[in-house]
Amino acid sequence: MTTPSTQSIEKGTLGLELLLGTLTAFAPLSIDMYLPALPRIAEDLQSTAPAIQLTLASCFAGLALGQLFTGPLIDRFGRTRPLYAGLALYVLGSLGCALAPSASMLVAMRFVQALGGSVALVVPRAVVRDLWSGANAARTMSRLMLVMGVAPILAPLLGGMVLQYSGWRAIFVVLAAVGAVALAFVLKSLPETAPPHVGAQSMRSRMGALMKDPDFVGPALAGGFAQAGMFAYIAGSPFVFISLYGIPEEHFGWFFGVNAMGLIAVAQLNRKLVTHLPLHRLLRLALSLCVVAAVAVLAVAWTGFMGLWGIAVTLFFFVSAMGLVGPNAAAIALERHATRAGMASAALGALQFTAAAGASWAVSTFNNGTAMPMAGVMTAMALLAWLAAFFGLRARTRQQEAGEGAQAHGPRIVSSSSAP
């Protein structure tokens, strides 16, 4: 039965999607806005490029851990109250980053900032699952990516402008202001959509149910590894474009923004494709495209073919393919878990950002002044994503065959046991 709050949301779907997309954009905004400043931060804090890249790994780790705790909270206490607390923590963490006196303190404050921002990632996916399912959920996820995709376009450009006129610390002050404004809008405009609480099921039992579902595990791992490849690109691209190829800091955002536009365009194409092709087939196609594009990036990084433009073009195709991966992986993974949408959304995001933290750490650890660490990690993650989808499909097929076999034997068992 539809609750009054749900009815009011359905009347203002466009406004809801805009608000949810803005919340989902917190992660790319927080990550991408300070990317042009990474070389400057390393210089100002008298640190090294690999050490400053650890601020990205710290952010990914905070997003992963925070989402794991957020899932059970929003299933138990609703979607809105944990979101209020998370946005408040995000504001405090952003101000801590602005005041950080050293690289190690910046790493710590980025972790705190990410813990708060993680709630803004979990809640929108849970709200979508509260209200939609199947292809409708995939279409809604694609529309959220349209809003979310604006952040990677505008964030580096805005970050470059702030960096040019006010320094890198002002970037985090701007992020704190964005968090405060978002909190005000959520307090005013986001009703509660969570279904009635269905019992005190432990986090362990909820996670166990998810891990037994191949329709969750396969797409979640595939989406997580693919996103890790994306974040390897995010971690490595500032140093590749700015330090290796000499792109001015204020112009980096244009290269980054073009790739984000490709992701947006493909995500909106996905809204049409889901009406004609099964979600599982679309996901496998997208992951195959990611593998091809990542191998092309690796080949260009290895050979130096076409220099800057070789890297830029191949990265564009890789990032664009992600517009097919994210919405479909999320829709498939959440489809069968309406009663624990918070936990499922949290586990999905935690898998993604755990893999992202590892990918970012690998890029910083193997930094050798070339594009090879970035390209190599991207390729490894794309291959792992494809393999996860492949083995997830095999597990799903075996489970379906086992279910059909049990149904085929069921009537014979019942009739023999109930015979007079």
Give the span between the Cα atoms of 108 and 92, in whole angstroms: 12
Per-residue confidence band for 399, with pLDDT thresholds at 50, 70 and 90: low
- Tell whether the model's pLDDT for residue 284 goes beyond 80: yes
pLDDT tens sequence across 152-200: 677 877 888 898 888 899 999 999 999 999 999 888 888 787 776 544 4
Dump pLDDT digits (tens) for 293-313. Answer: 999 999 999 999 988 999 999
Q: CB within 8 A of 19, min separation 6: which ones? A: 185, 186, 189, 190
Residue 6 lies in a domain: no
What CATH number is given to the structural domain containing 343? 1.20.1250.20
Average pLDDT of the segment spanning 76-103: 93
Per-residue pLDDT at 151 exceeds 80: no
- The model scores a pTM over 0.85: no
Is residue 116 one of the residues assigned to a domain? yes
Closest CA relative to residue 22, chosen from 129, 143, 109: 143
Q: Is residue 406 part of a domain?
A: no
| pLDDT for position 387 | 93
Tokens of 397: 């097929």
Is 30 domain-assigned?
Answer: yes
Query: Residue 213 domain-assigned?
Result: yes
Is pLDDT of 85 > 90?
yes
Q: Between residues 15 and 254, which one has the greater pLDDT?
A: 254
Q: Which residue has the higher pLDDT, 213 or 402?
A: 213
Q: What is the pLDDT of residue 200?
A: 46
Residue 165 in any domain: the answer is yes
- Residue 187: give the domain boundaries: 13-192+203-400
User: Is 335 part of any domain?
Assistant: yes
Average pLDDT, the chain: 81
pLDDT at 404 over 80: no
Write the DSSP symbol of residue 155.
Answer: H
Q: Is residue 405 part of a domain?
A: no
- Work out the pLDDT band at 54, boundaries 50, 70, 90: confident
C-alpha to C-alpha distance for 316 and 395, rounded to whole angstroms: 33
Residue 371's pLDDT band (cuts 50, 70, 90): very high
For the CA atoms of 377, 150, 300, 236, what is the dihedral angle to 10 degrees?
Answer: -40
Q: Residue 415's pLDDT band (boundaries 50, 70, 90)?
A: very low
Q: Read off the tokens for 365.
A: 């650890």
Q: Rounded to an integer, what distance in angstroms lies between the CA atom of residue 65 and that of residue 95? A: 21
CB atoms within 10 A of CB 100: 19
How confident is residue 5, by pLDDT bands cut at 50, 70 and 90? very low
CA atoms within 13 A on the CB side of 74: 37
Q: Which whole number is the average pLDDT over 62-89?
A: 87
Specify the number of domains making up the chain: 1
Mean pLDDT across the stretch 330-341? 74
Instruction: Kindly list the distances between the CA atom of residue 58 and the CA atoms of 90, 168, 372, 375, in Å, as whole numbers in the listed order.
Output: 14, 18, 22, 21
* pLDDT at 77 > cutoff 70: yes
pLDDT top residue among 333 and 93: 93
Which pLDDT value is given to residue 206?
65
